[in-house]
Amino acid sequence: MARIVASPGPTIMLSVGMAVRSQQAQLQFIHQPKPAKFPFGLFTMQLPIHIIDAFTSVQFQGNQAAIVLLEDWLAAPTLQAIATENNLSETSFLVWSPARNAFEIRWFSPLKEIAFCGHATLASAFVLFEAKPERRSITFWAAAVGDITAVREETGRIVMTFPRRDARHLGEVPVALLEGLSPSPDHVWVNQQAYIAVYASEACVRSVKPNLERLKSLGPLDVVVTAPADVGAPYDFVSRYFWPANGGDEDPVTGSIHAALAPYWSEKLNKNVLIAHQASQRTGALFCEVTDSNVKVAGHCARYLTGTITI
CA 214/CA 197 separation, integer angstroms: 15
Q: Which residues of 128-155 are buried (b: 16+ CB within 10 A; e: fewer)?
A: bbbbeeeeeebebbbeebeebbbbbeee
Task: Find residue 108's DSSP bridge partners.
Answer: 91, 113
CB 263 within 8 A of CB 166: yes
Alpha-carbon Rg for the chain, nearest whole angstrom, is 20
Give the dihedral sign, CA 244/248/250/256.
negative
DSSP string, 119-185: HHHHHHHHHHHHHSTT--EEEEEETTTEEEEEEE-TTS-EEEEEE----EE-SS--HHHHHHEESPP
Residues annotated catalytic, as ranges = 90
Paired sense of beta strands 194-198 and 187-190, if any:
antiparallel
CB 296 within 8 A of CB 286: no
CA 33/CA 72 separation, integer angstroms: 9
Question: How many whole angstroms from its chain centre is CA 233?
Answer: 25
CA 268/CA 202 separation, integer angstroms: 15
